[in-house]
Copies of this chain bind each other. A is one copy, B any other.
């Protein structure tokens, strides 16, 4: 599988190429202007936004399918990507909702049959650098956009539940996930890093304690540069020590307590 095809192709030709009844959905997270954001897509013929997703080709590992979706949507490769849950309940996608989708695309019910079956969705979340991502869509029939994690619109099927599950997984595992390293550019400020943790944990973190904790772990290196940022003291710039972060995830070292 090289490139994602337009959905009308995929939907009615899919039954030979893909593993039936299995899909992949991606929570793609980025950080911009102090906000944690999710990438969502929408078919123009549809009203509801949905998670970028796809199917697992017969010659693909599920991880590869997710990476293909990610590359197709953002142009990015080598991204941080982890499975977090699967969603397979019978009623998870409304029957009408799906039939409606086929109708809007003018796909005959028999050809689209494999699509209206129940699907088991493999949930992945991914952390990317917002400013490196492009938004690829086929502008004829779809749109894409970043949404503040706290302002998600009404979504297709159980996709809101999938996002909630992803977020609570990340919240529980925050100590083992190199959030900052994956979401921030090479050089970043301490308030930016803190902002990410605040967005995920959903509460304020003491500025002073956060800074001390982060620096004490030894994964962050202060640079002798600052960044101008308005009518106040310019914050220092920092950078991650990559090797240390890799260790942290591998051996499960506590990067940050979740008891802030």
A259 / chain B contacts, CB cutoff of 8 Å = 254
Tally of contact residues, A, Cβ under 8 A: 26
* Distance of A172 Cα from B62 Cα, bound (Å): 24
Picked from B22, B60, B61, B63, the residue with its CB within 8 Å of the CB of A22 is B22
Q: Quick one: given A172-B173, A172-B252, A252-B172, are A122 and B21 in contact (CB under 8 Å)?
A: no
Is B122 in contact with A59, judged by CB distance below 8 angstroms? Answer: no
Report if A185 contacts B (CB, 8 A). Answer: no
Residue A88 at the B interface, CB < 8 A?
Answer: yes
Query: Does A86 interact with chain B (Cβ within 8 Å)?
Result: yes
Give the residue of B58, B83, B176, B252 whose beta carbon is less than 8 angstroms from that of A86.
B83
Chain B residue numbers with a CB within 8 Å of A85 are: 83
A95 part of interface (Cβ distance < 8 Å): no
Which residue, of A20, A85, A86, has the highest number of chain B Cβ atoms within 10 A? A86
Closest to A172 in B: B252
Q: Mark A residues whose CB is within 8 Å of B.
A: 19-22, 56, 58-63, 83, 85-86, 88-90, 118, 120, 122, 172-173, 176, 252, 254, 259
Other contacts beyond A19-B120, A61-B88: 17, CB < 8 A? A19-B21, A19-B118, A20-B20, A22-B22, A22-B120, A56-B120, A58-B118, A62-B88, A63-B89, A83-B85, A83-B86, A86-B86, A88-B122, A120-B122, A172-B176, A172-B252, A254-B259
